[in-house]
Amino acid sequence: MKNHVTRRGVNAGLGAALISPALATTRAFAQSGEPIKIGFSMALTGPLAANGKQALLGAKIWQEEINAKGGLLGRQVQLINYDDQSNPGTVPGIYTKLLDVDKCDLVVSGYATNMVAPAIPVVMQKGKTFISLFALAANSEFHYPKYFSMLPSGPTPKEAFTEGFFQMAAAQNPKPQTVAIPAEDAEFSRNAAEGAHNNAKKYGFNIVYDKTYPPNTTDFSPIIRAIQAGNPDLVCVCSYPLSSVGILLSASELGLKPKMIGGAMVGLQATVFKDKLKSKLNGVVNYETWVPSPKLMAPAAGFFKSYQARAASEGVDPLGYYLGGWGYAYFQVLQQAVEGAKSINDDKLADYLRSHEFTTIMAAGIKFGKDGEWTKSGMLQVQYHGLTDAANLDTWRGMSYQTVLTPADMQTGSIIYPYEKALG
């Protein structure tokens, strides 16, 4: 589907947009030259806002810290961002404005595959280096050489979201045989479903249900009943936040009890959706990109202390585990590239990003390979368990309700199998 955004439409939508000013004073700018302007869109309203707002606060904390240290290349940093309203149709116009009107020196992406994909043609036309935030295989068709993905899905990104799900299923005895793959008809979930198909074939599962549903679906009971009719051993769901919640609520209500359920369900990582589902999360095996285990929290503790102290006043997710830290980390990568290349020239930045390793609060040893994807996957698969409807913020703050199943070097426990055993 081609999205068309007029200049008038973009300008009309900017009244509600949030512009994050540099914290330095005009006098400081005068002392050190004009600020380096970094532009991006972000989902601050609509169904992706729960995650987008986390990322923006992470970016703001990075900006404040870097400016307090003197900025980049001796210049203060100014972030300019607009609300894309979780609507891909707004994105091309926003990036056109950022580059043509706001005259941004650098641009990075907003949050989510669906928002990143429509920005790529604009930045390609302008020859800009582009670091994306949580975009699944968004460059797999463009092959843009100045694109770099901040998502730990590794060299086979489409498969990475569900690899651990199928890996755990294949290890069970007796091995389950059949799988249903319901997927939202959107960029992310189509890509994840393609990966799930490949994983099903790789691990020897027979697909007995394979259908997409519209993004605006609100009644999931027909989908759940159709899955029940196929009686699959596994249900691998590829979904965005609202349908992730809707599917699990409907599955609980209608008594869907496969041997495993989960896969590539976006949204379950955010506190607001955990609070909505609580005990209905029990048994779900789903992807994660980071968890607050002692090993992973160690380099990020300072950031999350700052983030969580501000979360209430900023009106964002109180923990920030899913996107807050990554919203900070992708600016860390940009910072290291600018400082390493000693330039904001896009060609020099892209050369540096391709040829160096990066360490952030969320992951170390990041290297970019084909299509700008990580050369090594850092995806996790977790299972939720032991939850009651009394679960609260203190529950979500730690690891008591979730077990890391894969990869092996991050594993914190064993799977509860089949799914029904985790329901309590």
Residue 25 in this model has a pLDDT that exceeds 70: no
Tell me how many degrees the CA angle 91-94-99 measures, rounded to the nearest 5.
125
Contact (Cβ atoms closer than 8 angstroms) between residue 246 and residue 252: no
pLDDT in tens, 348-365: 999 999 999 999 999 999
Q: Which residue, 410, 415, 414, 420, is CA-closest to 152? A: 410
What's the pTM?
A: 0.89
pLDDT in tens, 149-178: 999 999 999 999 999 999 999 999 999 999
Strands (E), 12-155: 36-42, 77-83, 106-111, 130-133, 147-150
Please, which residues have CB within 8 angstroms of residue 151's CB and are 6 or more apart in sequence?
A: 132, 133, 134, 135, 136, 157, 289, 373, 374
Structure tokens at 166: 């199928």
For residue 33, what pLDDT is reported? 82
For residue 4, what pLDDT is reported? 38
What distance in Å separates the CA atoms of residue 119 and residue 142, rounded to the nearest whole number?
11
Q: Which helix (H) or strand (E) covers residue 213, if one does?
A: strand 206-213
Residue 261 in this model has a pLDDT that exceeds 60: yes
Neighbouring-strand partners of residue 237? 263
Structure tokens at 361: 């609060």
What distance in Å separates the CA atoms of residue 165 and residue 285, rounded to the nearest whole number?
7
pLDDT in tens, 373-424: 999 999 999 999 999 999 999 999 999 999 999 999 999 999 999 999 999 6
> Does 152 sit behind a cis peptide bond, omega within 30 degrees of 0 on the bond before it?
no
What pLDDT band is residue 18 in, cutting at 50, 70 and 90?
A: very low
